[in-house]
Structure 1
Amino acid sequence: MTLTPKKAQDSLIQMTELVLPNDTNTFGNLMGGRLMYWMDIAAALSCMKHCAAPVVTASVDNISFETPIKLGNVVHIEAKVTRAFNTSMEVHMKVWGEDPVMQYRYKSNEAFMTFVALDPNGNSRPVPPITPSSDDEIKLFEGALRRRQLRLILGGKMKPADANELRALFFEQS
């Protein structure tokens, strides 16, 4: 079964949330767990938009919190599928905070997550390939295979010796 490729841009999701008191820690900053919850939703929506099927989170890459988002500020999350494999999709997310009073935006963090598409029986199902268009989409698409190999190694599903894309970064090919 051959699936028609889709553009990465077609999976774009933009989500906006207001940071309320129940979302913050004792320092008045958005709790990291709440942000990860919102990021998981945005990423899932992006994947469902791409594959037109329910999805589940398979992995979350490193999330580094660069700048805290304060109480009363706005959170903007942008999620887009960077590459589709057989049944899984990698999603790149960018997160910004916005002070609505001072009217400025600031970068909070970015991350990658992986989702798997499900059929009606809850089994994994094939997803359409991604066709990147912009220079940024091409760069993310090309790096996705290396990031996937790293995830598989860390998850014990691939031997480091079999990660040819990753090895090429560190060793000369003969």
Structure 2
Amino acid sequence: MSEEYPARPVSASQSERSEIIFPGDTNPLGNLFGGRLMQFIDLVAAMSATRHARGIPVTVSMDHIDFVAPVKLGDILILKASVNRAFNTSMEIGVKAMVEDVREQTYRHVASAYLTFVALDHTGKRLTVPHIIPETEHQKRRFEDAGNRREMRSGEVARKKENRATLTPEWHI
């Protein structure tokens, strides 16, 4: 890595966001809308990507999300994000969402997601992003897993591109 783009530790880009869930965020059962949770996830991931790349982050994909448990009206939602791995111009960000029970002082896991971002400059040109330095065993595992997911994504992108080339002009879902 060049002097211009020194590698950075995972801790330098970690981000956290908290939300209280209001009626406008929920469905008739009082559960947080999945799309709203995805928006919160995208925002906290973008903060982490911005800190790491020091550029304008653009979401390329949210290729995996697990909705583990419902988030209820009035819950305090806490989202934590960090860069799992940085490649040339892209980064994988991992996000974990928890609900805090303030009375019991406990946390309940409600969702996890992986997102890919690229960093752009103010003209829209892709930026080279610094590599990441995983420091803990947990960060090292996430770093390795991110490389495996990238390989799977690359194969999936190629397959989809090939399928699009063979589609007829009518709509296919």
- The TM-score range, normalised by the shorter chain, is 0.7 to 0.9
The reply on whether 1:42 has 2:44 as its aligned counterpart is yes
Q: Where does residue 79 of structure 1 map in the other structure?
A: 81
Q: Where does residue 16 of structure 2 map in the other structure?
A: 14
User: Which has the higher mean CA deviation after the structures are superposed, 103-112 or 39-48?
Assistant: 103-112
Cα distance, 1:149 vs. partner?
Answer: 1.2
Q: Where does residue 97 of structure 1 map in the other structure?
A: 99
CA contact (8 A) 2:81 2:95 kept: yes
Cα distance, 1:99 vs. partner?
Answer: 3.1
Cα distance, 1:154 vs. partner?
Answer: 1.5
Question: How does 1:138-157 map onto structure 2 within 5 Å?
Answer: 138-156=140-158
**Residues of 2 paired with 1:80 and 1:124: CA distance?**
20
Cα distance, 1:89 vs. partner?
Answer: 0.5
Amino acid at match of 1:57: T
Amino acid at match of 2:79: I
Structure 2 residue runs without a partner (length 5+): 162-173
Q: Which has the higher strand share?
A: 2
Q: Where does residue 128 of structure 2 map in the other structure?
A: 126
Aligned length: 159
Cα distance, 1:98 vs. partner?
Answer: 1.9
| SS of equivalent to 1:69 | coil
Cα distance, 1:156 vs. partner?
Answer: 2.0
Cα distance, 1:19 vs. partner?
Answer: 0.3
TM-score by length of 1: 0.86
**Residues of 2 paired with 1:127 and 1:77: CA distance?**
24
| SS of equivalent to 1:121 | coil
Q: Deviations over 1:35-68 (max 9, x none)?
A: 0001000000000001111010011122121110
TM-score by length of 2: 0.87
**Residues of 2 paired with 1:135 and 1:4: CA distance?**
22
Q: Deviations over 1:113-142 (max 9, x none)?
A: 010000221021100000100000000111
Q: Where does residue 29 of structure 2 map in the other structure?
A: 27
Amino acid at match of 1:22: G
CA contact (8 A) 1:8 1:133 kept: yes
Q: Where does residue 169 of structure 2 map in the other structure?
A: none
RMSD value, Cα: 1.7
